[in-house]
């Protein structure tokens, strides 16, 4: 079944803005906005189906992740009732708002129009979809009334890796062109290296630095050694990593060295790099004088998501040899 044939459903919901908790609240956002249930990107590593009902899903969603989606039909009307000027909104922690099904359904256009009518303090879109360029007119309008940011996911510079782990997502070059266009239109864009898939790290970081002027955010694939409870990487990604020889990228000690290497490259360019809530807190930072509903004390600058011992990786030479195997 092709992407254009995937079933698209609609259903009304009781609410569209959810008070944040955990990671997203720690980063500084007060509310999240999720326009649909289930995501037709269907990435092999996506953590959302591992959340089950705690991700607002129903059994068919996590059992057939990526095979259909259900849009929230009354989202614009609910937004007109629920939006407040002090809200700091992240869209979306549970689906990509510019997933393939969005091209047919066009749910984001009336959502953006409703937000522009009653703008919050901050609105951040997390996506890997160049389809966002379709809505440049609405993003420009919204940006005249509030702080708008796009966090664009860059995962790998290797096309075969993309096809293995996220076959329905755009190649890196298309994403970089989308970032360039957004910036040309005055939209603030962060390059977010998340999740970090097997890649030539030097090339991927250089692409991110060339694409934006902002600090760089990143996160390795979720693993239980770092996150004992809650959402984690789907087993499909573990199987692919095993078959393709990428098990190291799911090793906690390797991930520590990987993020340290990225930080070194980014800092050499005069910018900052952070993973976890610290990095995502940069998306939630308000301009001076702007008011938001999350107190500054809530925003913990922490890099716990990349903690762990380096003992398993005995030397920089050993680490480099692993990177060399994927840098070919």
- Mean pLDDT across the chain: 88
The structure tokens 């782990």 sit at: 165
pLDDT confidence tier of residue 322, bands split at 50, 70 and 90: low
Question: How high is the pLDDT of residue 287?
Answer: 86
Tokens of 46: 């996506």
Q: What is the pLDDT of residues 222-254, one digit of tens each?
A: 875 555 556 788 899 999 999 999 999 999 999
Q: Are 28 and 284 in contact (CB under 8 A)?
A: yes
H or E segment and range at residue 138: helix 136-143
User: How do residues 15-61 score in pLDDT, each as one tens digit?
Assistant: 999 999 988 999 999 999 999 999 999 999 999 888 887 778 888 88
Domain total of the chain: 1
Say how far residue 169 (Cα) sits from the centre of its chain: 13
Kindly indicate the confidence band of residue 302, based on its pLDDT and cuts at 50, 70 and 90: very low
C-beta neighbour count of 308 within 10 angstroms: 18
Cβ-proximal residues to 53 (8 Å cutoff; 6+ apart), any chain: none
Is residue 193 within 8 Å of residue 155, measured between CB atoms? yes
Q: Which CATH number goes with the domain that contains 204? A: 3.20.20
Q: What is the pLDDT of residue 289?
A: 66
Question: Could you tell me the residue range of the domain that residue 279 belongs to?
Answer: 3-326
């Amino acid at each position: 079944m092709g992407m254009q044939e995937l079933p698209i459903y609609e259903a009304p919901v009781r609410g569209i803005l959810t008070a944040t908790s955990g990671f997203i609240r720690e980063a500084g956002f007060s509310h999240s906005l999720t326009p649909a249930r289930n995501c037709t990107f269907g990435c092999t590593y996506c953590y959302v189906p591992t959340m089950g009902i705690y991700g607002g899903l129903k059994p068919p969603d996590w059992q057939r992740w990526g095979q259909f989606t259900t849009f929230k039909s009354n989202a614009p009307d609910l937004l007109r009732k629920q939006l407040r000027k002090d809200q700091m909104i992240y869209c979306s922690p549970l689906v990509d708002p510019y997933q393939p099904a969005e091209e047919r359904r066009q749910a984001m256009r009336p959502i953006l129009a409703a937000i522009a009518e009653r703008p919050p303090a901050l609105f951040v879109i997390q996506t890997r979809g160049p389809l966002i360029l379709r809505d440049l007119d609405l993003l420009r309008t919204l940006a005249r009334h509030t702080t708008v940011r796009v966090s664009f996911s860059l995962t790998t510079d290797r096309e075969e890796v993309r096809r293995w782990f996220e076959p329905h997502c755009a190649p890196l070059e298309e994403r970089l062109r989308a970032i360039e266009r957004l910036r040309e239109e005055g939209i603030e864009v962060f390059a977010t290296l998340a999740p970090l898939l097997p890649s030539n790290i030097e090339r991927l970081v250089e692409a991110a630095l060339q694409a934006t002027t902002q600090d760089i955010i990143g996160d390795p694939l979720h693993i239980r050694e770092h996150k004992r409870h809650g959402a984690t990487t789907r087993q499909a990604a573990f199987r692919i990593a095993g078959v393709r020889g990428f098990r190291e990228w799911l090793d906690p000690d390797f991930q520590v060295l990987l993020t340290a290497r990225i930080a070194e490259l980014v800092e050499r360019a005069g910018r900052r790099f952070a993973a976890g809530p610290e990095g995502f807190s940069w998306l939630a930072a308000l301009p001076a004088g702007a008011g938001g509903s999350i107190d500054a004390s809530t925003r913990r600058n922490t890099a716990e998501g990349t903690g762990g011992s380096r003992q398993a990786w005995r030397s920089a030479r050993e680490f480099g040899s692993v990177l060399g195997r994927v840098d070919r």
